[in-house]
């Protein structure tokens, strides 16, 4: 098979391929579909009541928060990425790394730290504001934009920028007229992740009394016991998220690697001493606020709770919780990545329908965690009732059940990461392999996957950061005696025992930092491989 015509791409004999695509998508989207079933028979009276009471406020709060956080994260993330990517100053490399670390601090941990810290400054009333909530979310989510923007800037060719400069463009004009437009799709991808996190957040918004739609889903569900209405509301939320994904996709359309393989990457501009000081000071301030303050408070509380002997829970010590967090994260991440690779490869050469199916698999990421948790319980329990598994084995409350639900929730992060890194493999390499007679699958396995390995590792790390922080699914589906760090944090914070929550929070941040470290290594190596 040496032609690269249409026949080659749309080869017959792909029943197995389609079956795999449909199988994986059904696997990860089924729990959502189960809940979506209630949409067939809409509960109009609840909607009428919602319209009359809370829904307009919820929509306003959700949209305001979303815009504020996305805008904040884009400005902060892109700005810092440009600062680090395009400029040479002392400590640039280490600062470049450290700026990713806020990712390891969950929004709800940053939330209670800032709530407590700022209460003494602006008062308990002043601290409960949408804008502070947005600020806390920006600080924990901007690294998504930062990472994508840095990757995009790193990919911009030196020649292009030099051309702009030689035509008399100032550094600032070069940024706005050349670099920023070229990096826009990547920034949009980061912003889409930020938007998803904001839309599905419950822990942080509740701390600051922000009534978003995700919060409303829980309110309707657990307040009135009306699962149908809650699901419909969640469905509306997912619809909004899917629109965001579509916008992000559209903005990516037609954009391919702008730099030729042989072209060198941009050379950072050496800054003058005052400018260096400014660059370093800016980064240090951001880091101090995003990471420094939370760490200082957590360490202080930890010391206090260790002294008062309240740091240990009965269900095993620190090791037990940390081990379970690591185990669940590793299992769920591996399943996500493996399924993600299979799906991405199967979808890659199959046109629009396959791509649309692929999109469908990401729906769990657009749902609030508790909704996915209950969807997974309903699905798994239905399987359990049919006694398909031997020895009376039950999926609900098993490690497999928990891992499944986590995969449903976070599959999108793995899948999109894998897909993006496969996209970035130089087309020339793929074409050569095909010309030399390798079929699409063989090309994928022996050319694309190895070339994309660091991108895939980065996706796995990004995914792990998310799973480490996850709470509602783990809480509802964990097996007996399997407690994770996030469960421990919840047990303390649900009683407002901030000091007692500090030790597990601190360890969770440490574990998250390891994942962030892996992410950074993967990105560095990945950049080398690509360039």
Partner 1 sequence: MPQNSVLKKTLTALSLTAFVSGLAACGGSNNTADGTSTVTVYTGRHYGIETVFEEFTAETGIEVRFTTGSDPELRERLAAEGANTPADLVMTADAANIALAAEAGLLSPVDSEILTGAIPEALRAADNTWFSLSRRLRVIMTSSERVTTPPTTYAEVGDPQWKGRLCLRPSTHPYTQSLVAGLINTVGADTTRTIVDSWVANDPLYINSDTDILKAIQAGDCDVALANHYYLGRLLGETPNFPVTITWPEQSGVGAHLNVSAAAVTANAPNRAAAVKLLEWLVSKGQKTFSDANNEYPADPTVEPGEIIAGFGTFKSDEASVRELGRRNAEAVTLLSEAKYE
Binders of partner 1 in range 304-323 (CB under 8 A): 314-315
Which listed range, 349-357, 375-383, 423-431, 512-520, lies at the site for partner 1 (CB under 8 A)? 375-383
Rounded Cα–Cα distance for residues 150 and 186 (Å): 9
Q: How far is the CB of 495 from partner 1 (least distance, A)?
A: 6
For the CB of residue 121, give the shortest distance to partner 1 in the complex, in Å. Answer: 12
Stretch that binds partner 1, among 178-186, 341-349, 358-366, 506-514 (CB under 8 A): 341-349
Q: 81 to 120, contacts with partner 1 by CB under 8 A?
A: 119-120
CB atoms within 10 A of CB 332: 28
Which residue from 461, 447, 459 is spatially nearest to 421, judged by alpha carbons? Answer: 459
500 binds partner 1 per the rule CB under 8 A: no
* SS3 assignment, position 432: helix
Considering only residues 405 through 444, tell me which ones interact with partner 1, judged by CB under 8 A: 439, 441-442
440: CB partners within 8 A, 6+ apart: 8, 9, 11, 348, 349, 434
For 438, list phi and psi in degrees, rounded to 5: -80, 140
Stretch that binds partner 1, among 141-149, 270-278, 413-421, 473-481 (CB under 8 A): 473-481
Closest CA to 161 of 62, 87, 63: 87
Cβ-Cβ contacts under 8 Å for 151 (sequence gap 6 or more): 186, 523, 527
* DSSP H helices in 87-129: 92-98, 107-127
Of the residues 154, 476, 502, 511, which one makes contact with partner 1 according to CB under 8 A: 476
Alpha carbon distance 424, 529 (integer Å): 11
Smallest gap, in angstroms, from Cβ of residue 358 to partner 1? 14
Instruction: Tell me the C-alpha distance between 459 and 56, whole Å.
Output: 37
Cβ atoms within 10 A of the Cβ of 168, count?
7
Near partner 1 in 437-466, by CB under 8 A: 439, 441-442, 445
- Rounded Cα distance between 410 and 397, Å, is 19
**Residues 128-147 within binding reach of partner 1 (CB under 8 A):** 128
Query: Quick one: 104 or 337, whose CB is closer to partner 1?
Result: 337
The helix/strand/coil state of 94 is: helix
Q: Which two tokens stand for residue 187?
A: 């920034």
Q: What is the DSSP letter of 268?
A: P
104 vs 476, beta carbon nearer partner 1: 476
Q: Using the rule CB under 8 A, give the single segment among 52-60, 190-198, 279-287, 318-326 that binds partner 1.
A: 52-60
We find the least distance from the C-beta atom of residue 439 to partner 1, in angstroms, to be: 5
Closest CA to 524 of 425, 462, 472, 457: 457
The token pair that represents 314 in the structure block = 């009965």
**Residue from 39, 54, 236, 518 that binds partner 1 (CB under 8 A)?**
54
Q: Which residues of 255-292 are buried (b: 16+ CB within 10 A; e: fewer)?
A: eeeebeeeeebbeeeebeeeebeebbeebeebbeebbe
Tokens of 115: 């709530």
480 binds partner 1 (CB under 8 A): yes
For the chain, what's the residue count? 531
Please, which residue, 190 or 228, has the CB nearer to partner 1? 228
Among 51, 131, 176, 393, binds partner 1 (CB under 8 A): 393
Of 82, 144, 153, 221, the one binding partner 1 by CB under 8 A: 221
Q: Mask of contacts with partner 1, 268-307, x by CB under 8 A?
A: ----------------------------------------
Residue corresponding to tokens 């509960």: 43
Q: Applying CB under 8 A, does 367 fall inside the site for partner 1? A: no
Min dist CB 365 to partner 1, Å, is: 19
CB of 222 to partner 1, least distance (A): 4
Per the CB < 8 A criterion, the answer to whether 362 and 22 are in contact is: no
Q: Does the footprint of partner 1 cover residue 44 (CB under 8 A)?
A: no
Rounded Cα gap, residues 437 and 3, in angstroms = 9
**Closest to partner 1 by CB, 23 or 517:** 23
Backbone angles phi, psi at 286, to 5 degrees: -60, -45
Q: Which of these, 10, 35, 174, 154, lies nearest to 96 by C-alpha position?
A: 154
Site for partner 1 in 13-32 (CB under 8 A): 16-17, 20, 23-24, 27
The count of residues interacting with partner 1 (CB under 8 A) is 83
Distances (CA, A) of 383 to 35, 37, 228, 386, 389: 15, 17, 21, 5, 8
Choose between 279 and 339: whose C-beta lies nearer to partner 1: 339
Least Å distance, CB 67 to partner 1, is: 22
Residue of the chain from 303, 394, 521, 529 that contacts partner 1 (CB under 8 A): 394
**Does residue 331 touch partner 1 according to CB under 8 A?**
yes
Of 125 and 253, the one with the shorter C-beta distance to partner 1 is 125
Binding test (CB under 8 A) with partner 1, winner from 180, 247, 293, 400: 400
Answer for which of 66, 342, 372, 523 binds partner 1 (CB under 8 A) is 342
Q: Based on CB atoms, which residue is closest to partner 1, 85 or 421? A: 421
Nearer to partner 1, 85 or 313 (CB): 313
What are the E-state strand segments in 159-294? 269-270
Helix, strand, coil percentages (3-state) for the chain, rounded to 5, are 80, 0, 20
Does 335 sit near partner 1 (CB under 8 A)? yes
Of 109, 377, 451, 465, the one binding partner 1 by CB under 8 A:
377
CB 356 within 8 A of CB 398: no
378 binds partner 1 (CB under 8 A): yes
């Amino acid at each position: 098979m040496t032609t690269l015509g249409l026949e080659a791409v749309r080869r017959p004999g792909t029943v197995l391929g389609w079956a795999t695509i449909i199988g994986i998508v059904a696997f990860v989207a089924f729990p959502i579909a189960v809940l979506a079933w209630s949409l067939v028979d809409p509960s109009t009276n609840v909607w009428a009541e919602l319209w009359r009471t809370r829904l307009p406020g919820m929509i306003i709060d959700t949209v305001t928060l979303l815009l504020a956080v996305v805008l904040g994260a884009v400005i902060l993330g892109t700005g810092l990425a440009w600062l680090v990517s395009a400029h040479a100053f002392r400590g640039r490399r280490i600062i470049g790394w450290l700026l990713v670390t806020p990712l390891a601090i969950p929004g709800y941990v940053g939330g209670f730290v800032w709530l407590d810290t700022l209460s003494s400054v602006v008062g308990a009333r002043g601290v409960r504001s949408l804008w502070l909530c947005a600020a806390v979310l920006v600080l924990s989510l901007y690294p998504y934009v930062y990472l994508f923007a840095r990757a995009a800037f790193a990919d911009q060719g030196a020649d292009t920028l030099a051309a702009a400069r030689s035509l008399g463009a100032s550094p600032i004009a070069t940024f706005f007229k050349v670099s920023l437009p070229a990096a826009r799709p990547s920034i949009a991808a980061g912003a889409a992740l930020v938007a998803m996190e904001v839309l599905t957040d419950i822990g942080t918004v509740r701390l600051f009394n922000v009534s978003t739609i995700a919060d409303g889903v829980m309110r309707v569900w657990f307040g009135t016991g009306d699962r149908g209405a809650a699901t419909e509301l969640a469905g509306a939320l997912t619809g909004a998220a899917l629109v965001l994904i579509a916008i992000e996709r559209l903005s990516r359309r037609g954009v391919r690697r702008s730099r030729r393989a042989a072209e060198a990457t941009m050379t950072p501009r050496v800054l003058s001493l005052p400018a260096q000081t400014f660059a370093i000071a800016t980064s240090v301030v951001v880091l101090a606020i995003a990471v420094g303050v939370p760490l200082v408070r957590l360490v202080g509380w930890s010391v206090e709770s260790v002294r008062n002997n309240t740091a240990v829970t009965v269900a095993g010590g620190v090791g037990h919780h940390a081990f379970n967090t690591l185990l669940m994260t590793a299992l769920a991440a591996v399943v996500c990545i493996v399924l993600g690779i299979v799906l991405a490869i199967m979808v890659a050469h199959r046109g629009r329908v396959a791509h649309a199916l692929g999109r469908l698999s990401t729906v769990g990421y657009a749902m609030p965690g508790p909704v996915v948790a209950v969807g997974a319980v309903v699905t798994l329990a239905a399987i359990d009732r049919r006694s398909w598994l031997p020895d009376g084995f039950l999926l609900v409350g098993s490690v497999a059940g928990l891992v499944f639900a986590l995969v449903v929730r976070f599959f999108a992060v793995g899948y999109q990461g894998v897909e993006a890194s496969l996209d970035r493999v130089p087309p020339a390499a793929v074409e050569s392999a095909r010309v030399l007679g390798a079929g699409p699958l063989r090309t994928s396995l022996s050319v694309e996957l190895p070339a994309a390995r660091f991108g895939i590792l980065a996706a796995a790390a990004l995914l792990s950061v998310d799973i480490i922080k996850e709470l509602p699914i783990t809480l509802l589906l964990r097996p007996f005696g399997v407690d994770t760090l996030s469960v421990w944090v919840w047990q303390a914070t649900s009683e407002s025992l901030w000091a007692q929550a500090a030790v597990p929070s601190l360890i969770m941040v440490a574990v998250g930092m390891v994942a962030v470290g892996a992410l950074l290594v993967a990105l560095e190596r990945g950049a080398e491989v690509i360039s």
